[in-house]
Amino acid sequence: MNSLTEKYLDIVKKRNPGEAEFHQCVEEILVSLEPVLAKHPEYEKAGLIERLIEPERIISFRVPWVDDSGKVQVNRGYRVQFNSAIGPYKGGVRFAPNVYPGVMKFLAFEQIFKNALTGLPIGGGKGGADFDPTGKSDGEVMRFCQSFMTELYRHIGPTTDSPAGDLGVGPREIGYLFGKYKRLANSYDESITGKHIIYGGLNGRTEATGYGIVYFADCMLKANGEKMEGKKVVISGFGNVAWGTTEKLDELGAKVIAFSGPDGYILDEAGVTGEKIDYFIELRNSGKNICQPYADKFPGAKFIAGKKPWEVKADLYIPCAMQNDIQLEDAKNIVASGAKFMCEGANMPTTNEALEYLMANGVIVGPCKAANAGGVACSCIEMGQNAGHTVFSPDQVHAQLKDIMVNIHDSAAAAAKEYGLGYNLVAGANIAGFMKVAQAMMMQGVV
Ligand code: 2IT
């Protein structure tokens, strides 16, 4: 790390004490921007990085609601509107017990570069609450979402900020959030994406993130003379991202042999295919957040309690759960298995230490801000669909998604090459995303 990076990181740490995830994410990005900043001294003069690391706006608010027993509950809601240099803020809303400013800021910061990589006009933002939807009734979730939106609605809008789903916020929550938004704002518009197709949603948005990850991984394999067909894949998670990823992998002839939940992982050597994929998502939608019942239902599958799936040997690893899922010891297992590829599905699923170890040991890594950008890209397409008062067909959406993912891969690879970094998609994605935002910031003056 050079002295300039140290200076910027110091500012971040002083201004955001104790927010380890945010520090981690900024460090990962700034280190790979060192050659760019050396080539562009005008960015330092313009205080560009100082501005980039400070969110444009952070909203934090009380979310009171009444549970089924009549008791009043209070959660804390957030929206971090990080950077609007290239478009209105765009990014998901996460409901999870570990949501706090450090998680919100890391996700929003990451989103700036991810959104820039899509090539679409969207800035970076993220929101959420420290609310755990697991085990809550529909009525509780509805009351929570309505209370959350009662404050959030005044900060969002079609040209201001457009939230979508993330962990803990799926079709049910989006429906409640949109219903309340529409009533409060008296406007039926594209302020929320990830809607059901019945009321303005985009054909294919649900599986877009997962499909996009597989298109991206496919580019990685092809660039290295390999193909997806016949590959053994280990993933983590069993939410929407994991589901879309599994479905597309299956279609391309690869085999998911393990997936995980918070209670452990499932090893299914026969592969998660056909009705098993449907059951996998059914399990998630049950709201129980456990994967043990899969092993009870499908005899060949084994449930390994309390363990992570990274100890299973595979050709390709795709973490689709949460941040910091892959720690150094997991990275060692992955390297020991002889795998050549890891593609990040979740946001920041790898610690910086683990990432360094993987790359130093020859594993080719597809970084999340590039690989999982298909979700937000389709959200932006949904915004366009709504603004144009039209409906796009599934074929139109999938063709566009595939193009976007191939472009992201190629621009990350090209940026790395331009700086003499070889086929380093981690640095390349950071550089390509940054350059777009940086140029827009320079053109717009000190704002
Ligand atoms: O992490 C992400 O890119 C998302 N949760 C999707 C954001 C969006 O606005 O669709």
Regarding whether 71 and 42 lie in a shared domain, the answer is no
- Is residue 437 domain-resident? no
Active-site residue flag, 13:
no
Please give the DSSP secondary-structure letter assigned to residue 16: S
Region for residue 227 given its phi and psi (left: phi exceeds 0; alpha: psi -120 to 50; beta: otherwise) = beta
Regarding whether 243 and 170 lie in a shared domain, the answer is no
Per-residue pLDDT band for 24 (boundaries 50, 70, 90) equals very high
Whether ligand 1 lies within 6 angstroms of the CB of 345 is answered as no
Cα(116) to centroid(ligand 1), Å: 13
Cα(298) to centroid(ligand 1), Å: 32
Whether residue 426 is predicted with pLDDT greater than 90 in this model: the reply is yes
Residue 46 burial (CB < 10 Å; 0-12/13-18/19+)? middle
Whether residue 323 is predicted with pLDDT greater than 80 in this model: the reply is yes
CA angle centred on 416, ends 411 and 421, rounded to 5°: 165
The strand pair at 232-236 and 255-261 is best described as parallel
Whether residue 266 is predicted with pLDDT greater than 90 in this model: the reply is yes
Whether ligand 1 lies within 6 angstroms of the CB of 347 is answered as yes
Average pLDDT estimate for 301-326: 96
In contact, 105 and 80? CB cutoff 8 Å: yes
* Element of type H or E holding 25: helix 20-39
Of 156, 193, 376, the one to substitute when testing ligand 1's pocket (max ligand atoms within 8 A of C-beta) is 376
Whether ligand 1 lies within 6 angstroms of the CB of 164 is answered as yes
Whether residue 291 is predicted with pLDDT greater than 90 in this model: the reply is no
Average pLDDT estimate for 78-89: 98
Boundary-marking domain end, from 54, 69, 96: 54
pLDDT > 90: percent of the chain: 94
Please give the DSSP secondary-structure letter assigned to residue 262: T
Regarding whether 270 and 224 lie in a shared domain, the answer is yes
Whether ligand 1 lies within 6 angstroms of the CB of 354 is answered as no
Query: Residue 166 is part of a domain; what is its CATH number?
Result: 3.40.50.10860
Regarding whether 75 and 38 lie in a shared domain, the answer is no
Per residue in 167-222, pLDDT (tens digit) is 999 999 999 999 999 999 999 999 999 999 999 999 999 899 999 999 999 999 99
Whether ligand 1 lies within 6 angstroms of the CB of 94 is answered as no
Of 104, 107, 209, the one to substitute when testing ligand 1's pocket (max ligand atoms within 8 A of C-beta) is 209
Give the model's pLDDT for residue 221. 98
How far is residue 71 CA from its own chain's centroid?
Answer: 34
- Is residue 338 domain-resident? yes
- Is residue 151 domain-resident? yes
In contact, 194 and 164? CB cutoff 8 Å: yes
Cα(259) to centroid(ligand 1), Å: 22
Compute the residue count for the chain.
447
Q: 């991810």: which residue's tokens? A: 114
* Element of type H or E holding 86: none
Whether residue 288 is predicted with pLDDT greater than 90 in this model: the reply is no
Whether residue 285 is predicted with pLDDT greater than 90 in this model: the reply is no
Give the model's pLDDT for residue 284. 80
Cα(263) to centroid(ligand 1), Å: 25
Integer Cα distance of 335 and 320 in angstroms: 19
Boundary-marking domain end, from 320, 348, 371: 371
Dihedral sign from CA coordinates of 371, 373, 378, 379: positive
- Is residue 194 domain-resident? no
Residue 126 burial (CB < 10 Å; 0-12/13-18/19+)? buried
Regarding whether 325 and 259 lie in a shared domain, the answer is yes
Give the model's pLDDT for residue 282. 86
The strand pair at 232-236 and 302-305 is best described as unpaired
Whether ligand 1 lies within 6 angstroms of the CB of 376 is answered as yes
Query: Residue 312 is part of a domain; what is its CATH number?
Result: 3.40.50.720
Integer Cα distance of 208 and 93 in angstroms: 17
- Total domains in the chain come to 3
Regarding whether 92 and 9 lie in a shared domain, the answer is no
Contacts of 320 (CB under 8 A, 6+ apart): 210, 213, 235, 236, 237, 239, 241, 242, 245, 345, 346, 349
User: Can you tell me which atom of ligand 1 is nearest the CA of 347?
Assistant: 1
Whether ligand 1 lies within 6 angstroms of the CB of 166 is answered as yes
Whether ligand 1 lies within 6 angstroms of the CB of 379 is answered as yes
Give the model's pLDDT for residue 283. 84
- Is residue 431 domain-resident? no
- Is residue 443 domain-resident? no
Boundary-marking domain end, from 317, 351, 371: 371
Q: Find residue 79's DSSP bridge partners.
A: 59, 127
Q: 């059914």: which residue's tokens? A: 282
Cα(323) to centroid(ligand 1), Å: 14
Regarding whether 91 and 47 lie in a shared domain, the answer is no
Of 90, 105, 126, 308, which residue is the catalytic one?
126
Integer Cα distance of 251 and 186 in angstroms: 43
Please give the DSSP secondary-structure letter assigned to residue 126: E
* pTM score: 0.96
Written as one string, the DSSP assignment of 206-255 is: HHHHHHHHHHHHHHHHHHTT--STT-EEEEE--SHHHHHHHHHHHHTT-E
Whether residue 287 is predicted with pLDDT greater than 80 in this model: the reply is no
Whether residue 42 is predicted with pLDDT greater than 80 in this model: the reply is yes
Average pLDDT estimate for 332-344: 97
Regarding whether 225 and 162 lie in a shared domain, the answer is no
Query: For ligand 1, atom 4, which residue shows the shortest CA distance?
Result: 92
Integer Cα distance of 20 and 7 in angstroms: 17
- Is residue 18 domain-resident? yes
Cα(204) to centroid(ligand 1), Å: 14
Written as one string, the DSSP assignment of 374-441 is: HHHHHHHHHHHHHHTT----HHHHHHHHHHHHHHHHHHHHHHHHHTT--S-HHHHHHHHHHHHHHHHH
Integer Cα distance of 426 and 412 in angstroms: 8
Per-residue pLDDT band for 286 (boundaries 50, 70, 90) equals confident
Per residue in 88-123, pLDDT (tens digit) is 999 999 999 999 999 999 999 999 999 999 999 999
Average pLDDT estimate for 340-365: 97
Reference 131, options 100, 154, 158; nearest CA is 100
Regarding whether 355 and 211 lie in a shared domain, the answer is yes
Regarding whether 214 and 363 lie in a shared domain, the answer is yes
Whether ligand 1 lies within 6 angstroms of the CB of 375 is answered as yes
User: Can you tell me which atom of ligand 1 is nearest the CA of 165?
Assistant: 5
Whether ligand 1 lies within 6 angstroms of the CB of 83 is answered as no
pLDDT > 70: percent of the chain: 100
> What are the phi and psi torsion angles at 13 (to 5°)?
-70, -40
Encoded tokens for 441: 């910031």
Per-residue HEC secondary structure of 338-381 comes to: CCCEEECCCCCCECHHHHHHHHHCCCEEECHHHHCHHHHHHHHH
> What are the phi and psi torsion angles at 261 (to 5°)?
-130, -175
First-residue to last-residue Cα distance in the chain: 28
Per residue in 126-137, pLDDT (tens digit) is 999 999 998 899
Regarding whether 150 and 112 lie in a shared domain, the answer is yes
Cα(165) to centroid(ligand 1), Å: 6
Whether residue 397 is predicted with pLDDT greater than 90 in this model: the reply is yes
Regarding whether 71 and 127 lie in a shared domain, the answer is yes
Which domain range does residue 306 map to?
Answer: 206-371
Cα(288) to centroid(ligand 1), Å: 23
Q: Find residue 63's DSSP bridge partners.
A: 75
User: Can you tell me which atom of ligand 1 is nearest the CA of 122?
Assistant: 9
Mean pLDDT of the chain: 96
